[in-house]
Amino acid sequence: MLTVESSGIPVAYATAFTLGVPLVFARRKKPVTMTDNLYVERVPSFTKGIVTDIMVSSEFLAKGDRVLLVDDFIANGDAARGLMRIVERAEAELVGVGIAVEKAFQAGGASLRERGIRVEALARIASLAGGRITFAE
C-alpha cells in the first residue's frame, strides 16, 4: 500500500491494517535518514495550491511489488499520477486506487478510470455549488 504524507496516512493505515499488508508513504521532505536511492516525482497539489516533490526510498518499493494507492481526497489526480510514476519507475504493479472522497466534479478520478485503472471511492461528491454537498450516484 502506498500513499502520500501526511493527510493520506490515516486512511491508508486503516486500509493496510485491515488487509494485513505493509504501508509505505511518500515523503514531501527528505529526512536525513533517506538514502540517495530514491524515486522522486514533482507534483502539484490542487488542495494546497503548491508544487512539491514526493519521494519513496527504493528499499521500500521493489520490482514486482503489487501496489494499491490509497489517499484521502482526489481532485485533479496529480498526487495519484505522481505515485503511479513512482510505481512504474520501481517496476512494481499498480493494482488500483482507493480514495476516501472523490471530487467527481473534477477530472482526477475519471482520468484514471479512462486509463483502465480501477478507482474506488467511499464517497463521490458531484457538486459543492451554493455551499451544498451533492453526492454522485
Which residue(s) pair with 57 in the sheet? 38
Measured CA distances, 10 to 21, 88, 92 (Å): 15, 24, 23
| Three-state secondary structure call for residue 75 | coil
Contact 71, 100 (CB under 8 A): yes
Strands 38-45 and 24-26, bridge-based pairing: unpaired
Contact (Cβ atoms closer than 8 angstroms) between residue 2 and residue 88: no
Range of the domain at 34: 2-135
d(CA 59, CA 108): 29
Q: What is the pLDDT of residue 128?
A: 94
- Amino acid 137: pLDDT: 81
Structure pTM? 0.90
Is residue 118 within 8 Å of residue 94, measured between CB atoms?
no
Query: What's the grid cell of residue 44?
Result: 502539484
Per-residue pLDDT at 6? 82
Assigned C-alpha cell, 38 = 530514491
Asked if residues 30 and 99 have their Cβ atoms less than 8 Å apart, the reply is: no
Tell the residue number behind the cell numbers 529526512, with chain if given.
31
Predicted pLDDT of residue 53: 92
pLDDT tens string, the chain, 137 residues long: the values are 999 988 899 999 999 999 999 999 999 887 777 777 899 999 987 767 889 999 999 999 999 999 999 999 999 999 999 999 999 999 999 999 999 999 999 999 999 999 999 999 999 999 999 999 999 98
What is the domain count for the chain? 1
Q: What is the CATH number of the domain that holds 51?
A: 3.40.50.2020
Confidence at residue 32, expressed as pLDDT on a 0 to 100 scale = 75
